[in-house]
Structure 1
Amino acid sequence: MSMDVAVMRQLAMRFRGLLRGGSLEQLDEWIWDASSCCVYAMRRFAKTLRQAIDAVVGQWSNGQTEGQINRLKSLEGSMYGRTSIELLRARMLLLQDSNLHRE
């Protein structure tokens, strides 16, 4: 196995470990190691990763939206065959008033 392949494999395995639960410090260290290695593809990947670091480490969730969509689809499914806009609106207002979203 050539030295380049061994370095690339080692970096790839470390990166895989980071994806499964690494820290920001480990990610910074990985980017530093990858950007100074002998494999062009790894240096380029590290450079791209560094440029998009805010998107990579940012925690953005659309869980609230997905939950509302799921609730609406469940409601729509339970009304299959009896659907009208007025009935759907009445059922949605009833759910909203039942105070399901407590903190």
Structure 2
Amino acid sequence: MGYRGTGRSVREYVRPWRSQTTIALPPPPPPTVRQATGWFLRHPDTLDADEHQLLQTLTAACPALAALREHVRAFAQMMVQLTGEGLEQWMKRVQADDLPELHSFVTGLRRDFDAAKAGLTLPHSSGKVEGHVNRVKMLKRQMYGRANPDLLRKRV
């Protein structure tokens, strides 16, 4: 607005007022759902100190989240260590808690219990097949309306 002085002279002029007043910083925003979900699903050793502290605060504030955290951790441990023998006990513990979201997950597991237990017990994986199916679907989407099935077959 036409001031010909420098920024330093303004800072020097304002300094006495800044030292007398303390500015209260606003509290940090609460974590987003995406952040909290990431903290729950990641291995605890990969969380840094701040994330671990925020997760502890979050679970201390809500007992339902603390129970959810324990159930998710136990299921992840079953997946990593292939200890599917404990799946039935895990499902009973989940049903005993008041967590409707996990109840629907358990209902889905019960529909095909043998396959779920085999997936958590056997070392075999269908990951390669799923990857190829994903690639074929991607090629099909790319070529939709552009060519006939012969060209799609060549690209696959």
When normalised by structure 2's length, the TM-score is 0.36
Q: Number of aligned residue pairs: give it.
A: 63
For 1:22 and 1:37, locate their aligned partners in 2 and report how far apart those are by CA, in whole Å: 24
Deviation at 1:61, TM superposition (A): 6.6
Matched AA of 2:112? A
- For CA contacts below 8 A with separation 6 or more, give which structure has more relative contact order: 1
Q: List 4+ stretches of structure 1 deviating above 2 A.
A: 22-25, 57-62
Question: Sequence identity, in percent?
Answer: 19
Deviation at 1:10, TM superposition (A): 0.6
Is the contact between residue 34 and residue 42 of structure 1 (CA under 8 Å) also seen in structure 2?
yes
Segments of 5+ residues of structure 1 without an aligned counterpart are: 67-103
For 1:61 and 1:2, locate their aligned partners in 2 and report how far apart those are by CA, in whole Å: 36
Is the contact between residue 35 and residue 43 of structure 1 (CA under 8 Å) also seen in structure 2?
yes
1:13 aligns with 2:73: yes
Over alpha carbons, which structure has the higher Rg? 2
Tell me the equivalent position of 1:37. Answer: 97
1:28 aligns with 2:79: no
For 1:42 and 1:4, locate their aligned partners in 2 and report how far apart those are by CA, in whole Å: 11
Segments of 5+ residues of structure 2 without an aligned counterpart are: 1-60, 130-156
Is the contact between residue 35 and residue 44 of structure 1 (CA under 8 Å) also seen in structure 2?
no
